[in-house]
Chain A
């Protein structure tokens, strides 16, 4: 019965987003204490000190000693403290009640937990354990994600758990695992400084991972050449040495073409390929079908630029390549990522200082959150849920029978298809907002409406939680402690600054309270994150993502510990694959995480995008972020100063296209795809391909870019193809309906 209890606008009036803009910082107010912790937003996880006074975070002080960001912060980090003591903050449990104007009435926490347990029990009694699904978030601490995975499998006994990291890094993860046997950025970012060439593939670093800009530009000051591949001239592209203006969705073709030129010109490391890898010949045979002329034709990158890229990359002595969602958010995202890895392996420049490869983590704990068991096919320590040995080990840690451990589930999108089909009837979601963040989100809304029972755990009432029967008030980042793993693979510690307000609780408590109310508390009696982490260490021991040698104390002492860290006396592994390095899979046979110790070349097959441009939908639509907002905006659309930067989504288009369509800068324009249409203001800029339009995705409802995007998914990683679909654009018939109600807020 998860339709909206009352009109969306009425819920907005009651629960926001309202804007918090009260600056409380400055040095006039003397804080009681400074708490060293990390930013609650992106995967850079900048170190920050929070100023605390009277159980309230009143500002920040830069933490210049933290090695990754040395005090640097983007505007989201600077203003994050405004979400504490926010008027929209949930401080009680809420029960759906259509008779109340706001659609929800407060409910005592204990009662809410009991009701949630009753409903879960009812559904499971009637339809079996698999009728309840769990959705987690990649912003949760690693402790919480571990507990959630255990809760789904041990307490609920359902295979259906997945997480919103599905929308983020899974293509990179799958490709990394196929090629290296381990999924992590290979080097600390400091290795970038001093390298000869940096290739940035599909990553708007300035807006999505701002601190990384300084590393790239510092490398450039010392002589590095920078190659940027992107359909838009992003701030990093503005100053690069070689810009590759690629058509969205054509990345694998570009990598094949470049590798072909490297082979033709002898710019590959034959020794390394021979000694340390397998599979090169198949890849070379595939690349032979990508002569430069064909590559140029398919990718839209001029032939001479492709040649220049091959030369810059091929002839360098040291190099760094990294990519992000631009090449990963595709129905062939894994192939795209494998294409970049082939370039790295062919150059032989990996596993040494100043030469590395990395994928940029988008969400706070995109890395740690996927290593310890909230992914549908994985158990803690990056163990495989289908592997009998792995199952046996985890079952022994969890003190259950292996046979009682469910098998693999399905990805987050597929869970909505199962909800739609009536197979999943109950849903528990924590810090996940699929109604804004999943593609073709009107389908997601329809699926939500079919649920028999939906309980959401969050600290603000996000757009998806508005459909819930019950909302449990969770905790903000600064109200709990735990670990997260940031972009470089560094496990760091988030520290508690304030207590939860009202009846709000730390999410791990809520999960355990549910287990208790269900009468299945076995394994859910931890007294805090440290105890959970200690079990996680044991559970990860011997796995690829081995955290067993990491302790809270070691993290504080070393300002983070790079995993793998397999024993108490091990310092952690900042750089992977160094010659002579050991790992539990190769056992001394080589540096890569396969039984023979060798890295894998994989044929990175180019496939055109699903729902590509056509006569009817002639433009590429691509989506992404702006620096002032984060993900579905649940947090950042409540922070006044951030809203001011970029108040409303706009459609970026090139002046040549604008002229052809008769659209001027600032006009209302309607973008349409096969799934829907939205009307936004146009922003006419020369910094985008003339055959492409761009819309940021942080807004809900009528302004949601994901009304337009297609739910096509990569067959391996199941990541949705956010970064391209066929689209058409026209001047709008008039201002959209929402403009009358909300334009005043802009």
Chain B
């Protein structure tokens, strides 16, 4: 049993409506009963309703596994990075600190690290991950590359990320806008310095600039 290679996971934050359906659905999966492995982040609620779902990116060379002193994190042959193996994990938290995407979490009460396993109990038997099935805006999508190309002609999947000198390729794709020119990779560290323009309030209100309420008197 494995997750077929032609089925991939796509994350499109521009579609996320912050409903937390994914978070709730994740708690219904078996590997980590009752606990959600998805983090849902409000980028800056004061300025925007933009939210971002964070799932494990299932790196080709997982940093979490590389730093684990107990060799508790395994990557399966089909490219899915698993939660820590229970007998091995010493709950040191190295992986939590090391993961560039901020995914693993330490569960102190159980003394173990747990993270998203791409619903291995489902995906390895031909089902979709719970979160991607329920996501009402399909910000999370599980399917083939052909399907995503047909469904999202304006975006393209990217799975190469640059953190300073480190380049990471992942099994999970992030959808980025195709226009004007989609970057071949996402340079995460470069984006950290500049404060991104407050994208939420930059609505294309005709001719208007940042604030659609600029004219409103209080």
Contacts and interface: CB of A to CB of B under 8 A. Distances in A.
Q: Do A and B come from one complex?
A: yes
Interface of A: 23, 25-28, 59-60, 62, 64, 69, 71-75, 77-79, 206-207, 210-211, 213-214, 217-218, 220-222, 233-243, 245, 300, 302, 304-305, 307-308, 627-628, 641, 645, 654-657, 660, 665, 683-687, 689-691
Nearest to B122: A27
Contacts of B122: 27
Nearest to B18: A235
B108 interface: no
A221 B207 CA distance: 23
B46 A207 contact: no
Contact of B216 (A62, A75, A689): A689
Nearest to A660: B218
Nearest to A300: B216
Contacts of B138: 72, 214, 217-218
Contacts of B217: 690-691
Interface string B14-25: 111111110111
20 contacts: A25-B29, A26-B30, A62-B130, A74-B21, A75-B24, A78-B21, A78-B134, A206-B17, A210-B19, A217-B137, A238-B203, A300-B215, A300-B216, A304-B206, A641-B27, A654-B218, A655-B46, A656-B218, A686-B48, A687-B49
Contacts of A28: 30, 33
A207 B21 CA distance: 11
B187 interface: no
A200 B42 CA distance: 24
Given A218-B151, A241-B204, A305-B205, A72 B134 contact: yes
Given A23-B28, A60-B28, A78-B21, A690 B203 contact: no
A242 B154 CA distance: 18
A173 B175 CA distance: 40
A727 to B, nearest CB: 13
B88 interface: no
B2 interface: no
B136 A74 contact: yes
Nearest to A311: B206
Interface in B128-144: 128, 130, 133-138
Contact of A645 (B20, B30, B46, B50): B20
B7 interface: no
A73 B216 contact: no
B136 A72 contact: yes
B28 A210 contact: no
* Residue picked from A62, A69, A245, A686, most chain B C-beta under 10 Å: A686
Q: Which 4 A-B pairs have the closest CB atoms?
A: A206-B17, A210-B136, A26-B30, A25-B28
A222 B138 CA distance: 15
Contacts of A206: 17-19, 137
A75 B21 contact: yes
Interface in B27-48: 27-30, 33-34, 45-48
A144 B216 CA distance: 48
Nearest to A245: B212
Given A25-B28, A233-B212, A239-B14, 4 more contacts: A23-B28, A26-B33, A73-B136, A243-B204
Contacts of B121: 27
Contacts of A234: 49
Interface string B198-218: 001101111110011101111
Range of interface residues on B (Cβ < 8 Å): 35 or more
Interface string B37-73: 0000000011111100000000000000000000000
A242 B212 contact: no
Contacts of A77: 21, 134
A249 to B, nearest CB: 15
A645 B36 CA distance: 13
B197 interface: no
* Residue picked from B15, B208, B217, B218, most chain A C-beta under 10 Å: B218
Contacts of B17: 206-207, 210, 213, 235-236, 627
A686 to B, nearest CB: 5
Given A78-B24, A78-B25, A686 B151 contact: no
Contact of B200 (A75, A238, A684): A238
A213 B137 contact: yes
Given A25-B28, A628-B20, A690 B134 contact: no
A2 B21 CA distance: 40
A625 B203 CA distance: 23
B206 A242 contact: yes
Contact of B204 (A242, A245, A300, A660): A242
Contacts of B34: 23
Contacts of B135: 72
Given A210-B137, A687-B48, A233 B204 contact: no
Contact of A627 (B15, B19, B47, B207): B19
B204 to A, nearest CB: 6
Given A73-B25, A218-B151, A238-B200, A691 B136 contact: no
A290 to B, nearest CB: 19
A220 B134 CA distance: 20
A690 B218 contact: yes
Contacts of B50: 238
B69 to A, nearest CB: 31
Contacts of B154: 220-221
B137 A214 contact: yes
Contact of B28 (A26, A239, A655): A26
Contact of A686 (B18, B136, B211): B211
A235 B28 contact: no
B193 to A, nearest CB: 23
Nearest to B29: A26
Contacts of A689: 213, 216
* Residue picked from B30, B45, B136, B213, most chain A C-beta under 10 Å: B136
A239 to B, nearest CB: 6
Contact of A665 (B46, B128, B211): B46
Contact of B201 (A628, A641, A656, A686): A686
A221 B151 contact: yes
A175 to B, nearest CB: 28
B79 to A, nearest CB: 22
B86 interface: no
Contacts of A79: 24
A248 B50 CA distance: 23
B43 to A, nearest CB: 11
B115 to A, nearest CB: 17
A648 to B, nearest CB: 16
Nearest to B215: A302
A222 B30 contact: no
Nearest to B125: A27
Contact of B213 (A59, A304, A654): A654
A28 B133 CA distance: 19
Contact of A684 (B16, B46, B201): B46
A75 B30 contact: no
A74 B17 CA distance: 10
Contacts of A73: 21, 25, 134, 136
